[in-house]
Amino acid sequence: MKAKKRILFLMSDTGGGHRAAAEAIRDALMMQHGDAVSVRIVDVFKDYSTFPFKYFPDFYPWIVNSSKTSYGWSFKLSNTRNRARVIARGMYVTAESKLKRMVREHPADVVVCVHSIVTRPAMHALMAGQTRPPFVVVVTDLVSTHYFWYDKRAERTLVPTPLAFERGVLAGLDPARLRITGLPVHPQFTQALTDQATARAELGWNPDLPAILVIGGGDGLGPLEKTARAINSRKLRCQLAVIAGRNEALKAKLASRRWKQPTYIYGFVDDMPRLMAAADILVTKAGPATISEACIAGLPMILYDAIPGQESGNVDHVVNGGAGVFEPTPRGVADAVASWLAEGPEGLAHRREQARQLGHPNAVWEIADEVWAHANQPRIPVKRKMAARLASIVGAGS
C-alpha cells in the first residue's frame, strides 16, 4: 500500500481568509484523493513564533478596525523588496529554533503557504536542512499583494489576478513559476449554489421583491447598523437581509428595530451560498473571500469599507471589472441601492453577469491539482552555498 502524501499548510488566524483558503484546498484534495492524502494545518504565529508575532491573531481584528490608518501606513512602508526581505529575515532570526522545530515536527511531501508574512521565514527554515519538500505559495490577497508573498525559491506561486501576477514578476519571480488561478473558494460553496427562486423558498423570503444582502464579516464589524438604517430610511420596494455575525448585541439591536420593508436579521450563518443565491445586491466590505464568493454567485456588490493598503486594490478590481461600486458612507450606499433598483430587473441582470465574469469557480480545483503534483515530486537538495549564506545571515543578526 502506498504511503499517504503528507501536505503541510502554513497559515495564521489573522483574519478568516487564511484558514478558509487552507481548508478549501484541503477538502478539495480529500475529495479527489481520499485516503491517499494526509493534511496538517499549522498556525505559525501562535505555535512557532515569538513576541510580537505570536499575538498577531489576537490583535489583528483590533488593529484593522481601530487603527486602520496606522495599519495602512505600516503596510505601505514595509511593502518594498528590500524592506520585506529585511523584516522577514528578522522574523526568522527571532524564531529560528521554533521554525526549525516546526519543520521537524511536521515532515511533509509538500509545504503550502497561505499567509504572506510566513512565506519567507518558512522557506528559510526549510533551507536549513540537507533536502526540503517542494514549496507552494497560494496568495490570498486579490490585488494589493505585499512583497512578503513572493519568494524566488518557491517552486510555484499561485495568484488570484493578473495584477498579482505582475507584482510577482516585479518582485523578481520567474514568470514560469507563477500562475493565475483565482482565489480558492470552498468546493461546497459552488456545489450549494442554487437558483434564486429555490433559495428564496428555502429561506422564506418574498419571491418577487428585489433582495439586498448586507454583511459585515463573521464578527459583524464595520458600520453595519448605520448602513442598514440608511437603506431602511429610503422606503424602497425591496426586502433586506442583514448578517450580524457573532455580534449578538448587534443582532438583538437590529431585531428590535422597526423596518419599512420585509427584513430578516441573522447572526452567524453557515449557508452563505443560499443567501447569495437568493439576493440581488450585496452590501459588504472589500474582503477578498467575500468578493470571490460573490463573483462566483453572480452577485453585484456595493462596497462600503476596505482595509487601507491591503484591500485597496480589491475595490479597483470590483469597480473596474464592472462588478460593483465603492460607497464609503451609509448615505452613499443607500443612494447606490436606490439607483440600482431603479434600473429594474434588466439592469440587475446585467450587473449580475458583470460580477460573474470576474469569478473563478474552478480555482480551488486548479490549486489542489498543483499541490498534488508537487506532493508527488522528489525532495529538493539544498545547495550548500545557499545554506552557508543563510547561516551567515542568521549569525550576523544574532
Residues 122 and 138 in one domain: yes
Q: What distance in Å separates the CA atoms of residue 299 and residue 309, rounded to the nearest whole number? A: 25
Residues 24 and 120 in one domain: yes
- pLDDT tens per residue across span 110-147: 999 999 999 999 999 999 999 999 999 999 999 999 99
Q: Are 180 and 360 in contact (CB under 8 A)?
A: no
Backbone angles phi, psi at 229, to 5 degrees: -65, -40
Q: Given the DSSP bridges, would you call strands 380-381 and 131-132 parallel, antiparallel or unpaired?
A: antiparallel
The one-character DSSP state at 381 is: E
Q: What distance in Å separates the CA atoms of residue 185 and residue 249, rounded to the nearest whole number? A: 30
Residues 177 and 318 in one domain: no
- pLDDT tens per residue across span 320-352: 999 999 999 999 999 999 999 999 999 999 999
Residues 244 and 348 in one domain: yes
Q: Where are the alpha helices (DSSP H) in 158-223?
A: 162-170, 187-192, 196-203
Per-residue pLDDT, averaged over 7-15, amounts to 91
Residues 352 and 365 in one domain: no
Domain extent at residue 240: 188-357
Residues 309 and 369 in one domain: no
Residues 192 and 143 in one domain: no
- State the CATH number of the domain containing residue 334: 3.40.50.2000
Between 306 and 261, the more confident residue is: 261
| Average pLDDT, rounded, for the chain | 90
Residues 241 and 337 in one domain: yes
- pLDDT tens per residue across span 287-308: 999 999 999 999 999 999 988 8
Residues 10 and 104 in one domain: yes
- pLDDT tens per residue across span 74-100: 888 888 888 988 888 888 998 999 999
pTM of the model: 0.89
Cα–Cα distances in angstroms (integers) from residue 234 to residues 103, 228, 229, 302, in the given order: 57, 10, 9, 16
Cα–Cα distances in angstroms (integers) from residue 108 to residues 237, 335, 378, in the given order: 56, 52, 11
Number of domains in the chain: 2
Residues 313 and 213 in one domain: yes
Q: Are 193 and 296 in contact (CB under 8 A)?
A: yes
Residues 41 and 138 in one domain: yes
Please name every residue paired with 380 in a beta bridge, in sequence order, or none if there are none.
Answer: 132
Residue 220: band (very low, low, confident or very high) from pLDDT cuts 50, 70, 90: very low
Residues 132 and 65 in one domain: yes
Q: What distance in Å separates the CA atoms of residue 196 and residue 106, rounded to the nearest whole number? A: 45
